Amino acid sequence: MSATQRLRTVVFYLLLSASAFVWGTASLVIAPLLPFRQRYRIIVQSWCRLAIWLARSLVGIRYEVHGLENIPERPCVILAKHQSTWETFFLSGLFSPLSQVLKRELLLVPFFGWALALMRPIAIDRDNPKLALKQLAKQGHEHLMRGNWVLVFPEGTRVPVGETGKFSRGGSALAVNAGLPVLPIAHNAGHCWPKQGWAKHPGTIQVFIGPPMYAEGEGPRAISELNQRAERWIGERMAEIDPPRAVSSASLAN
């Protein structure tokens, strides 16, 4: 990475951090006074779009979106590839209102975490997988019934470029039980915004939004089939834009 790019990256982080502090502090005052949908648009959506703009303007991270016409009118469960932090900002700015699954520890971060709690995220205990699934099922269903999008990263954590993690069925189960489709999304953000390190690389991220996928029936078998279909679609798109280096044995077993 060139000296100029390193400097741009430092400036990017400084401005992003400053905006997060201002956003978090202002949210604690403004958010409780607003209806949830308006709260989300003004606070979350605007800040996430600012983050994407800063990434584009300062470190040259651009993007192209394919398949916007596939987004259904009624909110559903989004199953997205997870390679970096970029897609968290991008998807939170694209879909409104949106609730995503995150570690409950994030809500303890002063100012930022407190403000984040006002956005009604699905905060789970990752150290207790069984409890986490129950939290996702209960809170996720409530959000869907209110007409909110629910973002789930089936791999559970950010996966390095060229690799694939185990594809959890939690998001597909949530969609099937609510009688709604899943919306698969693939991208290669990890090339520009890697999982590890602070480096940011200029380039154009390719984002593919697939057609809504409905379960064929009900119950565990329908959930498994829908999950495999979504995983296959994402895998095929990733093979086109981000050829795999390795596939985990856990993923193959799934």
Residue 189 belongs to a domain: yes
Peptide bond into 35 cis (omega under 30): no
Number of domains in the chain: 1
Residue 177 CA to residue 181 CA, distance in Å, equals 10
Domain that holds residue 186: 60-107+120-253
Residue 126 CA to residue 149 CA, distance in Å, equals 21
Half-sphere exposure of 5 (CA within 13 A, CB side): 14
Helix (H) or strand (E) holding 230: helix 219-241
Residue 223 belongs to a domain: yes
pLDDT at position 39, please? 82
DSSP 102: E
For the chain, 254 residues long, the average pLDDT of each consecutive 10-residue run is 91 92 80 82 88 96 97 96 94 92 76 68 77 84 93 90 89 94 97 91 97 93 96 95 53 40
Peptide bond into 212 cis (omega under 30): no
Report phi then psi at 183, rounded to 5.
Answer: -115, 105
Query: At 174, which CATH number?
Result: 3.40.1130.10
Residue 11 belongs to a domain: no
3-state SS assignment for residue 178: helix
pLDDT at position 251, please? 39
Residue 159 belongs to a domain: yes
